[in-house]
Amino acid sequence: MLKEIYIQNLAVIKEAVIPLTNDLNIFTGETGAGKSILINGINAVIGQRITKDIVRSGCDKAVITALFTELSPEICGKLDELGISHDNEEITVTREISADGGSVSRINSRTASAAMLKEIGSMLINIHGQHDNQILLDSEKHMSILDSFGDDDSLLEDYRDSFHELQKTARQLGELKKLEKNNIERRRYLNEIIDDIGELELEEGEDERLEKEYETAKNSEKTIIAIKNAVQAITGDEAANDMIVSAEQEIAGYTDSSENINIIYERLSAAEIELADIASELEALADKIELDGQRLEYLGTRLNSINKLKRKYAEDCSGLVKMYDEACREIIQLESSADEINELNSRKEQLLHDVTEKAKLLYEHREKVAQKFTEQVTAELEFLNMSGVVIKVRHEKGKLTVNGMDTIEFLISANKGEEPKPISKIASGGELSRIMLALKSVIAKKDSIPTMIFDEIDTGVSGKAAQKIGIKLKEIGKVRQVICVTHLSQIAVMADNHLMIEKHVINDRTETNVTQLDMNGRVSEIARIMGGDEPTALMLDNARAEIERASKY
């Protein structure tokens, strides 16, 4: 419950301490006295956007502090999750708005983000202003209203989990299919590489080795002839070896008489032996060289194939081997992508089936909720002096969305015998206020938000209808804390805690005060609302009688 609000330097409110009770709290005051500022202050402490213009002129900052007590287990659990202490099941929430536009928020003196304030605030307070009536005019909001009444989110949460999984799977499948479309040509190219290069079973550096072997094989015959000529030159007629022998014979008789001739003779003998060895090795080498025409043809054909691929892919032999290996790896990945597409297709079909079945269960659940909803809202509307109004929930099946397969719209018939039509085409401002109050009333029995705020719920109503609204607010106040800003005496007399907002000029500055009224104060304020600033004794008596009569509800 919102136990107390402290406001400092907020627009025309210089300073105010506002005590609140757990039941029906009514704020009244003349137009322009500052009632909307109070709502802005409450909005500030629950994380709503507040501009620097709200800071009192000439002041550095505005400060709003709210004390919340009797916190529910759900709120305590959320505070624990956020790491915020809550001794005695109460917290203070403070929002400081600087004149330069900055803002600082605290929960129990701990700095808190606006997101934290919103999260906690949404569990503490539900504010209904005039603009909220527009929700009734937007059929897209009707489903959330019905679900709030249903008080069981398990089916919807389970459905949404599956629906989001379906969306995720569909996105993944779409992305893979888009890639697959681009990969068709890529796969064709990779398969061409694998077929071309794989057929040759290339090895790195093979082209260089084959070229050397091919050149050697091609020149084998010339090589043999050259070797034989060389041998002939060494050993044939008038060959080098015979000339060396002749030279030896010419100087053999002079080796004893000349040391130098002896040395030359020995060198000639060594040369004769060396030439004989060379001739022998050349003959052996010639015997080893084979003239294999088939091998030469094979080498030429393979080299031609390799060189053709080298030109086609602009790579050397090592580059072709690397290209082949990379193509093999990539094609495996592409094939696995195709397998993944098949798996995702199967998963998508299964999820679509699951989502459809869960959507059907959700539809059936909402059908039952809609029946109870119309019964209870109709009862509330009858109480609120709208007994001729018929409300109906148009519930149809449509395409699957994050909210199910349902389309929901509230229809009303303002006059007996007329077909129900969309609220936006039928309801007046006063009817909208009462319909929204009826909705809030039935939903209040379902949700766990402890505080409900109604800002000018009395728009467009008067007389008996206003009285019924007051009685309904008092009734809600028995199960929830209700804070209401009103201009109508029929509602104000129902207050369990009546606070008056009034404006004064002090030292040429406007200031707004908030006063908790006792019985005499209430009588005077109710008389003012009923008859003007200078009520007569009769008006005062009437005001007191109305307050006493309202106390019986």
Q: Which of 335, 352, 372 is the last residue of a domain?
A: 335
pLDDT at 505: 82
Q: How many CB atoms lie within 10 A of CB 206?
A: 18
In a domain, 88, yes or no: yes
Q: 47-78, pLDDT tens digit by residue? A: 888 888 888 888 999 999 999 999 988 899 99
pLDDT at 166 over 90: yes
In the chain, the number of structural domains is: 2
Mean pLDDT of 201-221: 81
What mean pLDDT do residues 194-223 have?
82
| pLDDT tens readout for residues 342-382 | 888 999 999 999 999 999 999 999 999 999 999 988 888 88
Domain edge (last residue) among 335, 354, 371: 335
pLDDT in tens, 281-313: 887 777 777 656 677 788 888 888 888 988 888
**Residue whose C-alpha is closest to residue 370's, from 142, 156, 154, 139:** 142
Same-domain check for residues 117 and 226: no
532: left (phi over 0), alpha (psi -120 to 50) or beta: left
pTM above 0.85, yes or no: no
Is residue 286 a part of any domain in this protein? yes
Task: Verify that 317 and 197 share a domain, yes or no.
Answer: yes
Indicate if 90 and 207 belong to the same structural domain: no
What helix, strand, coil percent values describe the chain, rounded to 5? 60, 20, 20
Range 537-543, long-range pairs (CB < 8 A, 24+ positions):
543/489, 543/493
From 284, 316, 335, the end of a domain falls on: 335
**187 and 328 housed in the same domain:** yes
The domain that holds 540 is classified in CATH as: 3.40.50.300
Q: Contact 261/254 with Cβ under 8 angstroms?
A: yes
> What's the DSSP call for residue 55?
B
Q: Which domain holds residue 55?
A: 1-129+456-553
pLDDT of residue 523: 95
Whether residues 185 and 307 share a domain: the answer is: yes
pLDDT given for residue 238 in this prediction: 65
User: Is the same domain home to 91 and 231?
Assistant: no
Residue 340 included in any domain = no
Q: Out of 85-94, 247-256, 422-431, pick the least confident.
A: 422-431
**103-107/404-413 β-pairing:** unpaired
